[in-house]
Amino acid sequence: MKAGIVVDKETIEIIEADEPDMAKYPAGAIKIKTELSAICGSDLPEFLVEQDDYPGRLGTSIHEAIGTITQSNSDRFSPGDRVLALPKEIGGCSEYFVSHEDVTVPLADFHSQEQILMAQPLGTVIWAVRKLGSVINKDVVIFGAGPIGQLASHTVSNLGARTITVVDVVDFRLDVAKRMRATATINSSKQDPIERIEQITEGRMADVVFEMVGHNTETINTCIDAVKRLGTVLCFGVADEDVYPIHYRKIIRKNVNLFGSIGPEAQADFPLAMRWIGEGRVDVSPIITQRIPFTQVQKGFEMFSYERDKVIKIVLEY
């Protein structure tokens, strides 16, 4: 089979590799022939950051994937079943990968498979928002208008947020945010985001702030500045550093609730995300900006990393 692999910083090659041998995998394991996968912001560190050892993981760190089961060590799934699944060991940039029944769900019958693929990132947003409690009539601010920030905007709109302010430095992404139910947008390279948030919320400031930028140590402190007393900051953006300088005193003085979120509860959140997409309750089409052959994954990662004025979500075809 063909699979992508990171061989050096910012360098991915397509190589020939053996298909996974299911005799070596335990009960519950499932072999899947990939149909579509997608690049996520959490995949970027493997590509952009110098690693201790090369080559990296076969199939790269890509984890958003759908396909058809070809072999199954599970009583819950059979060959021929079409599924959304989280890859294990071999990443999703490969013609075949292995998942486990616990993180695999049947694929919803929907006319656009690339849109159903977005149930993976949407599922992670649903998992995060579950932990917030009600957002009805609350002022929500989202820092970062990448794929996750866009999906968060649409989700909190569905759940009754009062205002939804999306902050980014790329006008193209902010324009898309308006289509994803943002009620206001701020280009923080042109405007002071804290001043604008105060204006938008009529002095209330944010009940909930999402940090969905990642890859830097500064945004979290802007989130702390934006949140009101007794408000909540949800940390979602991927951290490239283990230790962040943080405005600890402000967290205490404002009684801020601060927590992180990663991943989904697969068996609950993926089916719900598929249902929302299938019923038209979340329109993911504005965020799918490119679709390319998976053999062009090098180009895909370069575009995702450096062409943010054109790219939000790149789908890879197999």
Q: What is the pLDDT along the chain (318 residues), one digit of tens a residue?
A: 999 999 999 999 999 999 999 999 999 999 999 999 999 999 999 999 999 999 999 999 999 999 999 999 999 999 999 999 999 999 999 999 999 999 999 998 888 999 999 999 999 999 999 999 999 999 999 999 999 999 999 999 999 999 999 999 999 999 999 999 999 999 999 999 999 999 999 999 999 999 999 999 999 999 999 999 999 999 999 988 899 999 999 999 999 999 999 999 999 999 999 999 999 999 999 999 999 999 999 999 999 999 999 999 999 999
| CB 139 within 8 Å of CB 115 | no
Cα–Cα distance measured from residue 84 to residue 92, given in angstroms and rounded to the nearest whole number: 11
Looking at residue 108, what is its pLDDT?
86
Tell me the residue ranges of DSSP E strands in 22-158. Answer: 29-38, 64-72, 82-85, 96-100, 104-106, 139-143
Domains of the chain, each with CATH number or no CATH: 2-120+265-317 (3.90.180.10), 132-260 (3.40.50.720)
Contact between 265 and 86 under an 8 Å Cβ cutoff? The reply is no
Q: pTM of the entire structure?
A: 0.95
Report the C-alpha gap between 52 and 20 in whole angstroms. Answer: 26
- Which pLDDT value is given to residue 146? 97
